[in-house]
Amino acid sequence: MSSVLRDDIRRILIAPVISEKTYVQVQAHNQYSFRVADSAHKLSVRQAVEEQFDVTVTAVRIVNVSSKPKRRGAIRGRRGGWKKAIVELKPGDRIELFEGA
């Protein structure tokens, strides 16, 4: 049924993004945020979330989070950018990972 292999799921979804803003998105819009691989695209993210959490995804948005300048004394550098996926689920579906604490 799914064209994403189990090994690929672990490579696509890196970590959930947990913050106050993401909790507001979960409560108001049933949207969950994940840090994803740089090579991930909407279809692969949809398949990975549906396979791993056994939910129905209605929409996926991909955001490239820009790198930020950082300083430590006189040394200047940049924190690396990353890719974030915002996944909207069918009403009634939930991901327990975001429900606790």
For residue 40, the 8-state DSSP code is -
Q: Is residue 32 part of a domain?
A: yes
Residue 48 lies in a domain: yes
The pLDDT value given to residue 10: 77
Are 96 and 73 within 8 A, CB to CB?
A: no
Split into its structural domains, the chain has a count of 1
Q: What's the pLDDT at 50? A: 94
Q: pTM of this prediction?
A: 0.83
> Which pLDDT score, from 0 to 100, does residue 1 have?
44
Q: What is the mean pLDDT of each run of 10 residues along the chain (101 residues)?
A: 61 93 92 95 94 95 95 93 96 83 51
Position 98 scores a pLDDT of 72
**pLDDT for position 97:** 78
- What's the CATH code of the domain at 26? 3.30.70.330
79 contacts 47 by C-beta, under 8 angstroms: no
**CA 98, CA 101: separation in Å to the nearest integer?**
8
Range of the domain at 60: 6-91
pLDDT reported for residue 3: 55
